[in-house]
Amino acid sequence: MNKYIEIVDDNIKTDLEYYLNNQELIFNIDNNYNIDVYLKNISYSLIMNFSESINVNITNNIDENNNKIVVNYTIEDNSVINEFFLINNDGLDIEYYKNISIKNNASYECSCALFNENNIDYNIDISLINDNAKAIHNVATIASHNKKYFNVKINNIACNTIGLLNNFGVVKNNGELIFNGIGDIKNGAKNAKAHQESKIITFDENVIAQANPYLIIDEADVEASHAAAVGQMDEEQLYYLQTRGISNNDASLLITYGYLKPILKNINNEELKHKLEKIIEDKVLI
């Protein structure tokens, strides 16, 4: 069933039940919904509590004029939450803070497609607090004429928990892109898995690009890995495409497109997958 939450200048329109507690806007979600969230100039913190054994897809559209957004989710046992995060317009700088708690056998998957022109400081802290909880966080982004910082942290607190991070980015035109990926496995989180991969392509020399993986492990019985790479566009690939008649500019666009596209393989929800594919196509292959 489709639902929506639209908050513009703190005016709330929604077909979901909610209540206000000080500056917190609280939703208790207890059914299988597809929820479209549209936020523009909001000063509330958005709290979503997902009840047990539900399946929810959230599409987040953040519009200009937000400068700070705070979001907290609690995901109860056996629920599956898929989220898609998108910033539409090129307005003010955005600071985004999100805390997620995931309980027994529940899973959370989030894919961010951030190709907007503004600066962004994106922070997410995901806690896998009970056994078999799982989280996947994907980012595909282009920093061009702006600064984009991503701090993505997954805490494996319980046994058999899985945390996966995938960050793919392109930096050009004096842009700045920093991926900090943090996997924190607590003592007692037996058989926990923490894997992360960060890749950045730089288009020109006047850019800042960092992919920093951190793994903090306080348990012996775990599986963890990280791969981080920052590099220039592959000259041989450019040449190869050009030998077939494709111009230098079109060849770099095709390679960029191809570079960001592997993010799609991490997305399980087909509808969201197509949506993201379309966005990458529109933003890259102009």
- The site for other proteins (CB under 8 A) is made up of 234-237, 239-248, 250-251, 254-255, 257-262
Shortest reach from residue 278's CB to other proteins, in Å: 14
**Shorter beta-carbon distance to other proteins: residue 84 or 259:** 259
**Shorter beta-carbon distance to other proteins: residue 23 or 242:** 242
Beta 80-87 vs 45-50: how paired, if at all? unpaired
Which residues partner with 100 through β-bridges?
73, 126
Instruction: State the Cα–Cα distance between residues 100 and 42, nearest whole angstrom.
Output: 20
If phi over 0 gives left and psi between -120 and 50 gives alpha, with beta otherwise, what is residue 242?
alpha
Shortest reach from residue 261's CB to other proteins, in Å: 4
Shortest reach from residue 265's CB to other proteins, in Å: 10
**Shorter beta-carbon distance to other proteins: residue 11 or 242:** 242
The three-state DSSP-derived secondary structure of the chain is CEEEEEEECCEEEECCCEEEECCEEEEEECCCCEEEEEEECCCCEEEEEECCCCEEEEEEEECCCCCEEEEEEEECCCCEEEEEEEECCCCCCEEEEEEEEECCCCEEEEEEEECCCCCEEEEEEEEECCCCCEEEEEEEEEEECCEEEEEEEEEECCCCCEEEEEEEEEEECCCEEEEEEEEEECCCCCCEEEEEEEEEEECCCCCEEEEEEEEEECCCCEEEEEEEEEEECCHHHHHHHHHCCCCHHHHHHHHHHHHHHHHHHHCCCHHHHHHHHHHHHHHHCC
**Shorter beta-carbon distance to other proteins: residue 224 or 241:** 241
**Shorter beta-carbon distance to other proteins: residue 188 or 258:** 258
Shortest reach from residue 209's CB to other proteins, in Å: 19
Shortest reach from residue 46's CB to other proteins, in Å: 34
Shortest reach from residue 277's CB to other proteins, in Å: 11
Shortest reach from residue 281's CB to other proteins, in Å: 10
Question: Among 148, 201, 211, which Cα is nearest to 179's?
Answer: 211
**Shorter beta-carbon distance to other proteins: residue 122 or 168:** 168
Shortest reach from residue 135's CB to other proteins, in Å: 24
**Shorter beta-carbon distance to other proteins: residue 214 or 240:** 240
**Shorter beta-carbon distance to other proteins: residue 25 or 263:** 263
